[in-house]
Structure formats: C-alpha cells, structure tokens
C-alpha cells in the first residue's frame, strides 16, 4: 500500500537529518573533536541531531500507521507538518548560543502535539476498526 503523505515527510526529515549530520561533522572538524563533544557548540549540534534521531522515527511510524488505517490526507499532512516543523524549530533553538529557548520549546510542543494527537487518533482508528469487525 503506497503511503504518499508519509513518504513526503520521510523524505523531508531525511534532508533535515542530513543537514544536522553535516553540521555536526563541520563543527567537529572546525574544533578538532573526533569523539565526544567537549565544546558547547558541538554539544548543541550533537543534541539537535540526536533529538531528531530520537523523535523522527516514532513520528514517521505514527504517520505511516495513521495513513494506512485511513486517516484523511489533511490529517496526515497536519501531523506531518507538525513533526517536520517541530524538529526543525527545535534544532534551530537548541543550536543557538545563547540558546533560543522559545524556539526549542515550540519545537517540542509541536512534536508532543504530533505524538499525543497522533497516538490518540491511531488508538481511535484501531478501536473503531476492531468494533466494526465484531
């Protein structure tokens, strides 16, 4: 079953992840750090990258399951936009020195909205599907 909306957000998140990865590499080279962080800007870049790696896959899994269960495209796109924007805004906020806390918080709020709303929607779709089979 094709999942065009989920595929779109997977592709866009892959590009974001690539950019965050390249930023870590560039900062490691600039500051001569091969392993670990030992520099505040490298630490921030590593955490922006790591945070994307931590939340992105679960977000994409939710999107794919929701799309597969028949959530209307507008719903998948709304949640996908929250995931992508949340990860990008969070990365922007945590990467700044001094930290742009409002951006970081906004990014987490968008991501948590995706997780909470997406999880609830998926549970509702699963229960409705199960009830329809009884």
The pTM assigned to this predicted structure is 0.91
Torsion of CA 32, 38, 40, 41, to 10 degrees: 30
**pLDDT tens profile 12-29:** 999 999 999 999 999 999
**pLDDT tens profile 85-123:** 999 999 999 998 888 899 999 999 999 999 999 999 999
Residue 34 pLDDT more than 90? no
Domains recognised in the chain with CATH numbers: 4-133 (1.20.120.550)
Residue 1 pLDDT more than 90? no
**Confidence (pLDDT) at 37:** 78
């Amino acid at each position: 079953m094709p999942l065009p909306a989920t595929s779109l957000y997977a592709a866009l998140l892959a590009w974001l992840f690539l950019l965050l990865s390249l930023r870590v590499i560039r900062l490691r080279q600039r500051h001569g750090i091969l392993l670990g962080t030992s520099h505040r800007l490298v630490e921030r870049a590593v955490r922006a990258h790591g945070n994307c790696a931590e939340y992105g896959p679960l977000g994409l899994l939710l999107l794919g399951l929701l799309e597969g269960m028949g959530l209307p495209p507008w719903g998948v796109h709304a949640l996908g936009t929250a995931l992508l924007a949340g990860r990008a805004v969070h990365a922007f906020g945590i990467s700044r020195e001094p930290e742009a806390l409002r951006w970081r918080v906004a990014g987490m709020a968008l991501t948590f909205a995706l997780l909470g709303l997406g999880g609830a929607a998926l549970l509702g779709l699963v229960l409705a599907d199960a009830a329809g089979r009884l």
